[in-house]
Amino acid sequence: MCANTVPDDRCKLVRVHLSSSGVSAKPRRLAWLSAAIAVVVGTAVPMAARAVPFVEPPPFGNETDFLEFTIDHHFSALRITELAAGTAAVGSSSHFAGSPNAFPSTPPQATDPVVLEVATAANAAQRMEIVDTQGMLENFYDVRYVPRMLSSQRQLVDALEAAPAGDPFNIAFLEIFSGHHATLLPPARECASVAPHAQVRAMCASMVAAQTQEIEEMRAHLASAYGITEIPYVTIPNSDGRPLPVPASASLLVVGLWGLRRALRRSAAAVTK
């Protein structure tokens, strides 16, 4: 279920995007969970308001557009991973590669060693890919592209910035960053087949392989460490300057109901035994 501001033709569950990219995805939670939360909280909570924000994948378009999108996509990943591992561990994303964006120095919010490892490795890899992709744009098209934080990607960062340190952040990071990775897969798969430059095709194939593996690893850790096997998403149209469809209450609900959700899941498991 998407927010009312998302047109029907853009309202797609993340499982559609993941399935088309060869990544397995679970169905949404049962409707009883929404009702149970409504009873405990004392108000009806729409599914979209509890969902993890997910940016809708753009079409491949042309090579230039895709390379620019990749830079912006990776730039938002720098901030996402910086929040997890801390600025001191990975370096600030502010003004990276000429970007005018400025973010405050941040202590590590993650406490899970796996999350810290994923964040540190991903930050280093995506910094390198930003520089490489900027080089391709300049070499092939004489374009000197500066990374920017798209409004759609900013929503993901906002959700993580609102998450309390510790387990709430660990869970939010794994859910949001695996969805963030999935955003790149559909256009990257097409890029690997149709991009006119062999160097770009090779980069796209490498990104698809690496990010698919990382999605599976993050989802596996969510299941083994936190008992989370199903993730409801709400899609955010991937175009800058458009209204974001996630309700204003989403960030609070995304980060504030982890304990309740886990308690309800355990209760449901006990009932079915």
Whether pLDDT at 163 is above 60 = yes
Measured CA to CA, the distance from residue 248 to residue 3 in angstroms comes to: 11
228 in a structural domain: yes
Query: Could you tell me the CATH number of the domain that includes residue 42?
Result: 1.20.1260.10
2 in a structural domain: no
Measured CA to CA, the distance from residue 177 to residue 190 in angstroms comes to: 22
The amino acid sitting at 227 is G
30 in a structural domain: yes
3 in a structural domain: no
Of the candidates 7, 27, 14, 30, the residue with the CA atom closest to the CA atom of residue 185: 14
157 in a structural domain: yes
* Residue predicted with more confidence, 80 or 31: 80
DSSP 92: -
pLDDT at 93: 82
Residue 240 three-state SS: coil
Query: How many domains does the chain fold into?
Result: 1
Q: Compute φ and ψ for 101, nearest 5 degrees.
A: -70, 145
Tokens matching residue 13: 């569950």
Average pLDDT of the chain is 72
Of the candidates 24, 63, 21, the residue with the CA atom closest to the CA atom of residue 207: 21
- Using left for φ > 0, alpha for ψ between -120 and 50, and beta otherwise, residue 29 falls in beta
152 in a structural domain: yes
25 in a structural domain: yes
Can you tell me the mean pLDDT for 142-158?
Answer: 87
* Residue predicted with more confidence, 152 or 179: 179
pTM of the complete model? 0.69
Contact 53, 155 (CB under 8 A): yes
207 in a structural domain: yes
**pLDDT tens-digit readout, 208-241:** 999 999 999 999 999 999 998 877 665 555 544 3
Supply the range of the domain harboring residue 156: 8-272
Whether pLDDT at 56 is above 70 = no
